[in-house]
Amino acid sequence: MPAPLANVPVHLITGFLGSGKSTLIHRLIEQKPADERWAILVNEFGQVGIDQAMFESRDDLVVKGIPGGCLCCQLAFVMQATLVNLLHRHRPDRVIVEPSGLGHPAGLLEVLRGEAFAGVLDVGSVVALLDPRRLDDPRSREHETFRDQLAMADGVALTMTDLATPAQLAAAREWLGELWPPKGWVLEAPGGELPLERLIGGEQAEPAGSSREVVDSDAHRRLREAASGAPGVKGVVLEALPEPGRPQRECGSALGHETLGWRWHPQDIFDLDRLGEALGKLPGALRVKGVFHTDAGWKLYNRADGAVSLADSTWRRDSRLEIIGEAGSLPDVEALEERLQGCLTRLAETP
């Protein structure tokens, strides 16, 4: 019988929507010691779940996705059960948790430090990501979750620095310098490049009076209380494939934002040019993520703050699209679905 797990390091990588959390985790994985097995737990605000498709599972890397809300609110029990199962089955040497961009770390830290994981998990560094350009929007500075994510972090990685001006970088550092308690470090991380030492260097006793113990959110506390009696969360598990040519649609809303997503059967093939044109017509303020089976192969589509990237994907399970925006900002559902269906070129041949 294997020895009981003890003091497995667990780290939180937080950051607002589109800040580059998945990219940074990929860069950390590239630095993983060869003799370690890591587990990545990805929570998404959307109901469909795209981020898990951005990671390739392998013998030394286990990736689990939990779509459908905020880990610290509606999904606390689901996250706890998933993590217990993950630890039992895969026995990782290190765990990295990526909460939703709208997630508040306080409730999640409560779970990780709770009785269920006492002596099993050792909560390490909390790293927050900040795109300096976001501070140009006064609404970001005033957003409770945005501020609390940064206030509770041990260190802050400045992402998208290649797109920011020197003035925006200086303003971000000045703003972060006014937070209390002070950050252990603030580091530029262009392309998500963050030295692994910044993550594991925090594996030590936490100082008394840490900000993790004193920062909480009234909005998230109310949401936790409202969700405590709920029998379950819609959209957490999506197993059955949609029928070819008939996508499955999922919608959700919370914390002043809405999400709209679809899943298509893997035999449905998109014309990449038509698909790119259709997605390009969506309002620039929307967060758009997808993985698609196209006539040019399987592709990952990612758009944040107007910047679009397209890359090859190893995902083969189904095609997925997730759109996230502030309440009232999403496009007409029926019209968009019809437009997307018009991008299908044919059905793939069954193997």
Would you list the DSSP string of 91-159?
--SEEEEE--TT--HHHHHHHHTSGGGTTTEEEEEEEEEE-GGGGGSHHHHH-HHHHHHHHT-SEEEE-
Mean pLDDT of the chain: 82
CA 150 – CA 173 distance, rounded (Å) = 12
- Among the residue ranges 60-74, 186-200, 301-315, the one predicted with the least confidence is 60-74
C-beta separation of 194 from 28 below 8 A: yes
Q: For Cα atoms 284, 14, 93, give the angle at the middle one, nearest 5 degrees.
A: 135
Is the pLDDT reported for residue 192 higher than 70?
yes
C-beta separation of 223 from 254 below 8 A: yes
pLDDT value of position 228: 47
CA 203 – CA 192 distance, rounded (Å) = 21
Q: Which pLDDT band, with edges at 50, 70 and 90, does 122 fall under?
A: very high
What one-character DSSP code corresponds to residue 191?
A: G
Q: What is the mean pLDDT of the segment spanning 88-110? A: 84
In the structure encoding, which two tokens stand for residue 240, read together?
């059955």
CA 41 – CA 61 distance, rounded (Å) = 11
C-beta separation of 69 from 75 below 8 A: yes
Q: What is the mean pLDDT of the segment spanning 272-297? A: 93
pLDDT value of position 224: 47
What percentage of the chain reaches a pLDDT higher than 90? 42
Is the pLDDT reported for residue 231 higher than 80?
no
pLDDT value of position 12: 92
Note the pLDDT tens digit of each residue in 153-176. Answer: 999 999 999 989 999 999 999 999
Q: Packing angle between helix 105-112 and helix 218-227, nearest 10 degrees?
A: 60
CA 239 – CA 349 distance, rounded (Å) = 22
Is the pLDDT reported for residue 264 higher than 50?
yes
Is the pLDDT reported for residue 209 higher than 50?
no
Q: Packing angle between helix 76-90 and helix 105-112, nearest 10 degrees?
A: 40
CA 53 – CA 269 distance, rounded (Å) = 17
Domains observed in the chain: 8-227 (3.40.50.300), 248-347 (3.30.1220.10)
Is the pLDDT reported for residue 236 higher than 80?
no
Is the pLDDT reported for residue 205 higher than 60?
no
Neighbours of 233 (CB within 10 A): 19
Q: What is the mean pLDDT of the segment spanning 107-118? A: 83
Comparison of pLDDT for 35 and 255, the residue scoring more: 35
Neighbours of 246 (CB within 10 A): 10
Q: Which of 236, 239, 215 is nearest to 227 (CA)?
A: 236
Phi, psi (degrees; rounded to nearest 5) at 318: -170, 170
In the structure encoding, which two tokens stand for residue 314, read together?
């190893």
Note the pLDDT tens digit of each residue in 128-157. Answer: 999 999 999 888 888 888 888 898 899 999
Q: Which pLDDT band, with edges at 50, 70 and 90, does 114 fall under?
A: confident
Note the pLDDT tens digit of each residue in 33-46. Answer: 999 999 998 877 66
Q: What is the mean pLDDT of the segment spanning 294-298? A: 94
- Among the residue ranges 62-71, 174-183, 184-193, the one predicted with the least confidence is 62-71
pLDDT value of position 343: 96
Q: What is the mean pLDDT of the segment spanning 194-205? A: 74
Q: Which pLDDT band, with edges at 50, 70 and 90, does 47 fall under?
A: low
Q: What is the mean pLDDT of the segment spanning 254-271? A: 88
In the structure encoding, which two tokens stand for residue 221, read together?
């506390």
Q: What is the dihedral of CA 140, 144, 149, 150, to 10 degrees?
A: 60
What percentage of the chain reaches a pLDDT higher than 70? 80
pTM to 2 decimal places: 0.72
